[in-house]
Amino acid sequence: MDYIILDLEWNQSSTGEEEVTKVLPFEIVEIGAVKLNSRREMIGEFSELVKPQVYHEMHQITKRLIHLQIEQLEKGHPFPEVVEKFFAWCGEDYIFCTWGPLDLTELQRNLRYYGKKPLADGPFPFLDVQKLFSIGYEDKKSRRTLEYAIDYLKVEKDIPFHRAFSDAYYTAKVLALLDKKVLKNYSYDVFHIPVDRKSEVHVQFDSYVKYISRGFADKAQAMEDRVVNETKCYLCRRNLRKKIRWFTSNGKHYYSLSYCDRHGYMKSKIRLRKSEGKMVYVVKTEKFITEEEVESIREKQKKSKEYKKRQNISKAEKK
């Protein structure tokens, strides 16, 4: 399997008044990519400018970041032509790798706008090299800039940053230096969410599990779903009794605490998100935690109760 390290540059409306901004907020103006083989050796390059079809003025922020003029872009080719050439270059057996998840989102928005075939009918795995750098070298939570990672790894800066190909090139340099074990921590693109129960995602990593649900009409329906609500030990497959039932402080993130006689305390976290089609879906992660982390969950629940109590008092005072 090859690694396709992708980076995109895009332009946006200068006025924000066009109706098209609702369906295509960012128009891709450059596609850059590097191909690595299974040994993470560079075996190919791709770099193409895209001729604007929607936004014919360069937004000031875009111009400042990527140093491109509309006159240069006019010499490129339309997106459908460039993207077909790009997919042909990718080959058959590969996985996308990006610095952060945004490039794949915007690629799929542009594909949809031009009526092109989607990357997949549902969620698909990819490597978020920004996240992998944090897992491999830092605290697993921080998200650094690409240039920070290059400086940290003491990689030679032999071409300028902030063009599609150069950023793909440096991202590939980071990927090549990561420990092979880190590459197991792939992410899932959810531009297209699961359509039914059978296509929902259940995946187990070294220290946690992830579940991506199908779409629901609203938050209440999602939280009432049996699979969303359940807490099951992912090591011995037994249903667990919750020590702390689902609670939230912001209405978007929910937490619960369960206990397994064999494996200890398990933390469950639900993140509620909206799909492109405006349906609500769930990303649930579960992992076994330390006693210190258990106390952190209990403290979080305590603060949630206090916050709700203050809210209720405030509402009562306004009546």
Q: Give residue-wise pLDDT tens across range 75-101.
A: 999 999 999 999 999 999 999 999 999
User: Domain boundary residue among 184, 211, 227?
Assistant: 184
Quick check: is 190 in a domain? no
Quick check: is 66 in a domain? yes
136, 92: one domain: yes
**Which pLDDT value is given to residue 100?**
96
199, 179: one domain: no
179, 242: one domain: no
**Which pLDDT value is given to residue 205?**
94
Q: 186 Cβ partners below 8 Å, 6+ apart? A: 95, 125, 126, 127, 128
110, 235: one domain: no
Quick check: is 244 in a domain? yes
**Which pLDDT value is given to residue 132?**
98
28, 132: one domain: yes
217, 241: one domain: yes
**Which pLDDT value is given to residue 319?**
63
Domain holding 26: CATH number?
A: 3.30.420.10
Evaluated on CA atoms 109, 115, 118, 123, the torsion sign reads positive
92, 128: one domain: yes
Quick check: is 98 in a domain? yes
- pLDDT (tens digit, 9 = 90+) per residue, 259-269? 999 999 999 99
User: Domain boundary residue among 149, 184, 219?
Assistant: 184
> How far from chain centre, in Å, is Cα 224?
25
Amino acid (one-letter) located at 207: S
Q: 170 Cβ partners below 8 Å, 6+ apart? A: 146, 147, 150, 155, 161
**Which pLDDT value is given to residue 218?**
95
Look at the chain and report how many structural domains it folds into: 2
The H-assigned helical ranges of 119-243 are: 129-137, 146-152, 164-177, 219-224, 226-229
Quick check: is 92 in a domain? yes
Q: How far apart are CA 131 and CA 99, in angstroms?
A: 8
> What DSSP state is assigned to residue 191?
S
Amino acid (one-letter) located at 103: D
44-47 long-range Cβ contacts below 8 angstroms, 24+ apart: 44/89, 45/165, 45/169, 46/86, 46/89, 46/165, 47/164, 47/165
Residues 14, 45 contacting (CB under 8 angstroms): no
**Which pLDDT value is given to residue 142?**
95
Six-digit token pair at 34?
């590097």
Residues of the chain predicted below pLDDT 70: 317-319
305, 180: one domain: no
DSSP E strands in the chain: the ranges are 2-12, 26-36, 42-49, 94-98, 124-128, 187-189, 201-204, 209-212, 242-248, 253-260, 264-274, 280-288
Q: How far apart are CA 55 and CA 78, in angstroms?
A: 13
Q: How far apart are CA 292 and CA 298, in angstroms?
A: 10
- In degrees and rounded to multiples of 5, residue 280 shows phi and psi of -95, 135
Quick check: is 189 in a domain? no
User: Domain boundary residue among 164, 184, 204?
Assistant: 184
> Percentage helix, strand, coil, to 5, in the chain?
35, 30, 35
Global pTM exceeds 0.85: yes
127, 202: one domain: no
61, 111: one domain: yes
156, 16: one domain: yes
30, 146: one domain: yes
Domain coverage including residue 229? 195-315
